[in-house]
Structure 1
Amino acid sequence: MSGPLAGIRVVEFGTLIAAPFAARLFAEFGAEVIKIEQPGSGDPLRTWRKLHQGTSVWWYLQSRNKKSIALDLKSPEGLAIARDLAASADVVIENFKPGGMEKLGLGWDVLSKLNPNLTLVRISGFGQTGPYRDKSGFGAIGEAMGGLRYTTGSPDAPPARVGVSIGDSLASLHGVMGALMSLLRVKTGQGGGQIVDVSLYESVFNMMESTVPEYALDGQIRTRSGGSLPGITPSNTYETADGQYAVIAGNSNAIFKRLMNVIGRPDLANDPALAHNDGRVPQTAMIDQAISDWTGTLGMDAVLDALEAADVPSGRIYSVADIVSDPHFIARDMILPATLPGGTEVKMPGISPKLSETPGEVKWQGPALGAHTDEVLAGIGRSADDIAQLRKAGVVG
């Protein structure tokens, strides 16, 4: 592998979303990622959502560049292999409930003795400590407890969810961030390995801006606000004459003046009381109505053309169909061609962030279950005869 993380070995004990997405990010930037799966069934994500020839297309994305080893962790021989892999790794990523690795005999007390420089990323619903540590926690629960659900949706409707597993993905990003900080400490000789304790709810909570000090100051509770951004005016979604919705962010002082002039309201542009955001917020309803009155007379293209000419941030709300055909996404390699088993051509998301000298790349799509078992075992010293015996015993697949 090439890339900024070439030479880093990651062993993934993960299923579904949080740990596997974190490991995917490592793999896209050059780390060798070895994914341990249960023989026979593998990661449940293999059969989630849209399937192609019996395998989820999400799997092909989530596990690209990874090596799959089918390993029975319930067998002593399988655990011995898992320990050897952890001993050879820079990073281990897992998303069992707290105590899951310990039940297998792969807790930090064991792994850190085998490999003092190991970074162990532990992603769970509520973290490794605290009164809720043993509760089951998926991303949806983390989004609810972390405060995101309370602020999502329309004021006159029940709390809504974001249409993707955002809680899991935010935890993945925090896991990668923590792992890289730990690796930097090890690689620069500042110390040995450590545990990176990531919870779903805290990863969501970390995105909640100033909600806590706002509440602590005067009891303000930020709640659902539809398409607007509370406390920042104007920033909302406005219907156009052809029934579409434009997102318009005119919330800096200079942009607000330009926006008001575009919509034919120089009186608002030049009103000293509206010159700054703290003066505009009490007048949010009036300002939004003025913008809506203007957008309601024009089609989407005319609205966006006028706003772009005035350098006012704005845009249409994209569906996935809009995304895959957009020239900007394409120009920045954010839509990549891929070939699924059987020769089916599809599109896949590109890689982010963009690094100028050591960019990430896609080497292969998510592999078949156990596709790299022999290669991985040979890499930790198992002979061909050993591997054959392990396979015969059902330890590997």
Structure 2
Amino acid sequence: MYDLLKGLRVVEGAAFVAAPTCGLYLAQMGAEVIRFDNIGGGPDFHRWPLADNGMSLYWEGLNKGKKSVAIDLTSPKGREIAQALAASPGADGGLFVTNFPVDGFLSYETLKTLRADLICVRVMGWADGSQGMDYTINSAIGLPQMTGPVDDPRPVNHVLAAWDLLTGAYCAFTLVSALLARHRTGEGREIRAPLSDIAATTLANLGFTAETMLAGRQRPRMGNDVYGAFGRDFVTRDGQTLMLLAITPRQWSKALEALGLKEAVAALEAELGVSFATDEGLRFTHRARLYPLFEQAFAGKDLAEIAPAFDAGGVTWGTYQPLEAALNDPRLFKDNPVFQDVRHPSGLTYPAPGAAATIPQDARGPVAPAPRLGQHTDEVLAEILGLSAAEIGKLHDQAVVA
């Protein structure tokens, strides 16, 4: 946790991954993030993975450091409270993150009547308002047909919700950008961030779309080969699988040196009339001739022999390891200062991350756990909406809040 956004109040009315990720990142940079959910929890309150006691590890992870308000969003009074929170007062309030539909009780047109300079960041599926989630957007954009073994035509879905996570980060960026503009002009605005547009623009930014337009077809699947460069998985004599990547001239030359392949590759260059030294595209084009040389070299050496040679030469490589092994990797989890042991609402204590970025000039604050559902209801209603204890008690009696 850092204090760069200390003083900002962001209200989150959302579920699933993208919008809660936006709120999480803002909270980790010091913003006060208040999430409201239905009494009993929203649609993501019990999402897997689950702890043995049934509590959602997913929910605990995406809502660290936030405050929680529980409201009956089906009731007129509950919706009125949600609207008031979204348009909360103060120079650094009136910041709302949501994935509720464009139309409805949390529409921008409705909320800006309560606060003209409101900033609303709205996660959407498709830009036309139709429903879409990470996996359906991904299936529509062609990537599952580019992913997986060469000899298997079935589409391969990725495990990581990439478009959700990119959208969440993009929303945090646009919210801060809109806030900076509001400080300059006094104007609010709605920002709509459809997963479909994040996916489409990302593929265009990476050249995928131009490539497909010019070629008339999308690139074929090619297993673990790194497209346009030299990179693939190889197996050592003792059965260890490594990922080797050689993009720069130095990475290439040091890999050849460590594997004892300089002469063999020089002979191949002479045969083909090319030089692989400075052109990663040529290494990719002729990978069918290069891979057997590398396979043979790896098959003749154990990992204990290859690793020191690669490290001494600055070769870019890594072993394949399951997550349970990665948990003991000091570069990732074990001894990583990004993580701290935290007791969570589930009653379990396990390491949880703060901000992914490290700011050497600032002290890293403690990681705050996710709240219990509705933990801050009374506090928020009193401090932000100015309700009296009697008014809050009446709302409890009417089951409007919990």
CA distance in 1, matches of 2:382, 2:2: 21
Q: Normalising by the residue count of structure 2, what TM-score does the alignment of the two structures yield?
A: 0.89
CA distance in 1, matches of 2:180, 2:265: 50
Give the letter aligned to residue 275 of structure 2. Answer: A
- TM-superposed CA distance for 1:166, in Å, is 2.3
Question: 1:219/1:362 Cα in 2 relative to 1: closer, same or farther (>3 Å)?
Answer: farther
- TM-superposed CA distance for 1:317, in Å, is 2.2
- The answer to whether residue 71 in structure 2 is matched with residue 76 in structure 1 is no
Q: 2:329 aligns with which of 322, 326, 330?
A: 326
Give the letter aligned to residue 185 of structure 1. Answer: A
Q: 1:163 aligns with which of 159, 162, 167?
A: 159
- TM-superposed CA distance for 1:149, in Å, is 2.2
- TM-superposed CA distance for 1:332, in Å, is 3.8
Question: 1:159/1:348 Cα in 2 relative to 1: closer, same or farther (>3 Å)?
Answer: same
Which residue of structure 1 lines up, in the alignment, with residue 104 of structure 2?
A: 103
CA distance in 2, matches of 1:353, 1:147: 32
CA distance in 1, matches of 2:366, 2:16: 20
1:194-219 C-alpha deviation (Å, 9 max, x unpaired): 22211122223343311112123333
**Once superposed, what is the RMSD of the aligned Cα atoms?**
2.2
Question: 1:155/1:349 Cα in 2 relative to 1: closer, same or farther (>3 Å)?
Answer: farther
Q: 2:187 aligns with which of 187, 192, 198?
A: 192
Q: 1:307 aligns with which of 306, 310, 319?
A: 310
Which stretch of the first structure deviates more once superposed, 174-183 or 110-119? 110-119
- The answer to whether residue 368 in structure 2 is matched with residue 364 in structure 1 is yes
CA distance in 2, matches of 1:223, 1:178: 34
Which residue of structure 1 lines up, in the alignment, with residue 301 of structure 2?
A: 298
Partner SS for 2:34: strand
CA distance in 1, matches of 2:353, 2:147: 26
1:63-105 C-alpha deviation (Å, 9 max, x unpaired): 1111110011222211221222122134211113x33xx322x
Q: Normalising by the residue count of structure 1, what TM-score does the alignment of the two structures yield?
A: 0.90
- The answer to whether residue 386 in structure 2 is matched with residue 389 in structure 1 is no
Maintained 8 Å contact 2:51/2:346: no
Q: 2:226 aligns with which of 226, 229, 237?
A: 229
Q: 1:205 aligns with which of 176, 200, 207?
A: 200
CA distance in 1, matches of 2:320, 2:354: 20
Q: 2:357 aligns with which of 311, 334, 353?
A: 353
- TM-superposed CA distance for 1:299, in Å, is 2.7
Which stretch of the first structure deviates more once superposed, 175-184 or 351-360? 351-360
- TM-superposed CA distance for 1:249, in Å, is 0.8
Give the letter aligned to residue 188 of structure 2. Answer: G
Which residue of structure 2 lines up, in the alignment, with residue 183 of structure 1?
A: 179
Maintained 8 Å contact 2:64/2:369: yes
Which residue of structure 1 lines up, in the alignment, with residue 67 of structure 2?
A: 67
Which residue of structure 2 lines up, in the alignment, with residue 266 of structure 1?
A: 262
- TM-superposed CA distance for 1:119, in Å, is 1.8
Which residue of structure 2 lines up, in the alignment, with residue 125 of structure 1?
A: 125
Contiguous gaps of at least 5 residues in structure 1: none
Which stretch of the first structure deviates more once superposed, 326-335 or 59-68? 326-335
CA distance in 1, matches of 2:350, 2:17: 21
- TM-superposed CA distance for 1:114, in Å, is 2.2
Give the letter aligned to residue 149 of structure 1. Answer: P
Question: 1:25/1:342 Cα in 2 relative to 1: closer, same or farther (>3 Å)?
Answer: closer
Maintained 8 Å contact 1:8/1:90: no
Which stretch of the first structure deviates more once superposed, 362-371 or 381-390? 362-371
Question: 1:121/1:223 Cα in 2 relative to 1: closer, same or farther (>3 Å)?
Answer: farther
CA distance in 1, matches of 2:25, 2:252: 39
Partner SS for 2:121: strand
CA distance in 1, matches of 2:367, 2:97: 21
1:350-396 C-alpha deviation (Å, 9 max, x unpaired): 42122233466455311111110000000110111001100111110
Which residue of structure 2 lines up, in the alignment, with residue 287 of structure 1?
A: 290
1:18-65 C-alpha deviation (Å, 9 max, x unpaired): 211111111111111111110123452334222253311222221111
- TM-superposed CA distance for 1:11, in Å, is 0.8
Which residue of structure 2 lines up, in the alignment, with residue 340 of structure 1?
A: 344
Maintained 8 Å contact 2:87/2:96: no
Which residue of structure 1 lines up, in the alignment, with residue 12 of structure 2?
A: 12
Give the letter aligned to residue 370 of structure 1. Answer: G
Maintained 8 Å contact 1:258/1:269: no
- The answer to whether residue 138 in structure 2 is matched with residue 143 in structure 1 is yes
Q: Percent of aligned positions with the same letter in both sequences?
A: 27
Alignment map for 1:81-92 (pairs within 5 Å) = 81-88=81-88, 89-92=93-96
